[in-house]
Amino acid sequence: MQHDLTVIDLIRHGEPVGGVLIRGQKDDPLSEAGWRQMRKAVDGQRPWQRIIASPLLRCADFAYELGEKLNIPVTLETALREIGFGEWEGVDPATLYRNCPEAIDRFWADPVANPPPGGEPFTRFQARVSGALDAIISHYTGKHLLVVAHGGVIRLIIAQVLGMPASNIFRMDVPYAAVSRIVVEQGRARLSFHGGSF
């Protein structure tokens, strides 16, 4: 690998305890299925020099397990937490669609203009994730990293790399334990692959 080539593998956490919810910063750990998804996703892979993870349990617990197994350092980065969904935290989508269908439709269509009630402003979420990505690229130039994060965080990182409007991020699928790769070379970031496996 060339010295100035930085490779950032992004992996979304697996299924958390409690199943499909608008989870945001609700700190549920991985379910047994989620652990299986994550272990399968990285099975046989050992290229990383450091793991950087959201401090929420569904990311951090797996990062620490993998770091110990591979004997590589783990850093928790608070700026990689998922967006805060305010009043929608911990609610299942079916309930939201029954109670406030227009509000949730507007959010998925354009989260920048239509934040959840009491939720983190999307511009603040975007700024902290963008800052985290810039810091990771700056501090770990020439390294191969694994970033364990959330669907919204990964969508924003990919949107930044592609120059895509943040309002369109929910047009992108990011399944549990899916892997995407960002490559940074001579200061230019590109998406190498998205949403698959190693």
pLDDT digits (tens, 9 = 90+) for 145-188: 999 999 999 999 999 999 999 999 999 999 999 999 999 999 89
The rounded distance, in Å, linking the Cα atoms of 159 and 167 is 10
CB atoms within 10 A of CB 123: 11
Query: Is 35 part of any domain?
Result: yes
20 falls within a domain: yes
Domain that holds residue 146: 6-196
| pLDDT (average), residues 12-34 | 96
Number of domains comprising the chain: 1
Q: Tell me, what's the pLDDT at 3? A: 60
Does a structural domain hold residue 75? yes
Residue 197 has a pLDDT of: 85
57 domain-assigned: yes
Task: List pLDDT tens digits, range 68-78.
Answer: 999 999 999 99
Q: Per the domain annotation, does 1 fall within a domain? A: no
Q: What is the CATH number of the domain that holds 181?
A: 3.40.50.1240
